[in-house]
Amino acid sequence: MKAFDAAIIGAGVTGAALARELSRYRVSVLLLEKEAEPAFGVSKSNSGIIHAGTQNPPGSLKARLCVEGNRLIAGPLAAELGLDFIRCGQLIAVFDPADLPRLERIKSEGEAMGVEGLRIVDRAWLEANEPNLGPEVRAALFCPTAGMISPYRFVYALVENAAANGTELRTGSEVAAISRGADGVFALVAGGQEYRARFVVNAAGLYADRIAALAGLPPYPIKPRKGEEYLLDRKREHIANHIIFPLPSGKSKGILIIKTSDGNPMIGPTAHDTGDSGDLSTTDEGLAEVLAGARRMMPSISRSDIIAYFAGLRPAAGDDFVIRHEDALPGFFSAAGIQSPGLTAAPAIALMLARLMEGRGLKLEPKKDFRPLREKPVHLFQVSPERTRELIAEDPGYGDIVCRCEMVSAREIRDAIKRGARTLDGVKFRTRAQAGRCHGGFCTTRIMKIMREELALSPLAVTKRGAGSEIIKDERK
């Protein structure tokens, strides 16, 4: 049986970024994901902020890799992969002038880590540049390098480009057993198949502790920390010009007003430890906390602006990322505890892991035919009416609007399926169809019909997010 050079467990942003990084080299890479599609773990439920690199403990991996990840995303990755990265900048607001020394400290710590362009701005600046801020906000730290991205489209772009460069992706492949033979090669059982790999990377997010235990390592103490987020109607798109933070608490960056790359602003997240890695519930208390925090900074935000909500779980393993070679199990690497700012840091984590793997004998010889570029998919919500007219002239499928809330055409949905979408959520994350105010009430059946045509699927086999979430039940069975 073929032995891959490297097997990566988990196709979230960490595993996807590593797969893409390794795909530059003449090594064979297997990316194993237990869910029906990539980006169905923590990487789908977050704030989508590409942090500047402030608010992390100086000297931590989080601090260093966040600054480096921001540069990689804003620079080569956005250009090569056609990412929807928007550098809108962030503000860290203070309500009490007595807190200005804390802001100064965040600024000098950020500067020491290499964060560029930081400056403290006063009330007059804020009134001119962020007019909807409430009167309580007295000053802020302006961090111009922060931005926003679509987190799942980021993962899909990485996976697509890695696959175009030879990475083999296996979804629906939950790693259930790991052993290491006398020849030092690992055997992994996933989705009922056996695979062999010389190097293994555990990038399993909330389940990294289980993978460590399967490999016979002492499990990491993963303590999920829940964050509830509330999405506002797109009509509030221009409520803020920046991502707005309060001063961080000991545990989190606080309740934020988040611009998203798709238009709808978002408020949140909470930060509460939970013992349950499956607890994605939202609560009345969470909503009250988020609304109070957001309204203190921007009083015009109201409960009726909220159109959707979700919770995500930060896979915390102590205060920092755990990125290392496991000396007790040569050839096995961990990328665990990838809590916030993991989305930002992922490309830098990937570089660090690649260096660690090279240090342990993975030969990284550049591929002559590496293709760094990926064609960006068309999203009508991002293009001008003139360009939309041209696209419709090229293919009338662009004029066949399936999701009216978000203006998504049949052609965009077909493209998403051709690029790998296999579930209704996969279509939603790639295109935004079903993500609007009606939550798919209007377009779901139409999307199912397109999936049936493109994938030759029985309607009974169409799922929301994989096996067990079928939309139509056959009552005859």
Active site residues: 51
Nearer to ligand FAD, 14 or 431 (CB): 14
Stretch that binds ligand FAD, among 93-101, 118-126, 193-201, 340-348 (CB under 6 A): 340-348
How many angstroms separate the CA atoms of 6 and 360, rounded? 12
How many angstroms separate the CA atoms of 400 and 49, rounded? 32
- Closest by CA to 145, choosing from 242, 237, 267, 262, is 242
466 binds ligand FAD (CB under 6 A): no
Q: Which two tokens stand for residue 299?
A: 């009083």
343 binds ligand FAD (CB under 6 A): yes
Give least dist CB 287 to ligand FAD, A: 14
312 binds ligand FAD (CB under 6 A): yes
Which of 6, 7, 8, 15 contacts ligand FAD by CB under 6 A? 15
Report how far Cα 228 is from the mean position of its chain's Cα atoms.
15
Nearer to ligand FAD, 65 or 380 (CB): 65
51 binds ligand FAD (CB under 6 A): yes
Strand pairing of 3-9 and 29-32?
Answer: parallel
How many angstroms separate the CA atoms of 179 and 189, rounded? 9
Which of 6, 7, 8, 11 contacts ligand FAD by CB under 6 A? 11
377 binds ligand FAD (CB under 6 A): no
How many angstroms separate the CA atoms of 18 and 66, rounded? 16
Half-sphere exposure in the Cβ direction for 69 (13 Å, CA)? 33
Q: Which phi and psi angles does 160 have, rounded to 5°?
A: -60, -45
Which of 10, 53, 286, 377 contacts ligand FAD by CB under 6 A? 10
Which amino acid is present at 108?
S
How many angstroms separate the CA atoms of 278 and 275, rounded? 9
Please tell me the count of residues contacting ligand FAD according to CB under 6 A.
Answer: 42
For the chain, give percent helix, strand, coil, nearest 5: 35, 20, 40
Give least dist CB 125 to ligand FAD, A: 24
How many angstroms separate the CA atoms of 290 and 271, rounded? 10
How many angstroms separate the CA atoms of 171 and 272, rounded? 31
159 binds ligand FAD (CB under 6 A): no
Give least dist CB 441 to ligand FAD, A: 26
Give least dist CB 30 to ligand FAD, A: 11
54 binds ligand FAD (CB under 6 A): no
Locus of tokens 């790639």:
430
Nearer to ligand FAD, 262 or 412 (CB): 262
331 binds ligand FAD (CB under 6 A): no
Instruction: Assess contact for 392 and 380: CB atoms under 8 A.
Output: no
Q: Which of residues 212-241 bind ligand FAD (CB under 6 A)?
A: 227, 229
Which of 4, 25, 47, 350 contacts ligand FAD by CB under 6 A? 47
How many angstroms separate the CA atoms of 71 and 48, rounded? 16
174 binds ligand FAD (CB under 6 A): yes
Give least dist CB 20 to ligand FAD, A: 13
Most distant pair of Cα atoms in the chain: their distance: 69
Q: Which of residues 260-299 bind ligand FAD (CB under 6 A)?
A: 269
Task: Please report, as ranges, the residues that interact with ligand FAD according to CB under 6 A.
Answer: 9-15, 32-35, 40-43, 45-49, 51, 174-175, 203-207, 211, 227, 229, 269, 312-314, 338-344
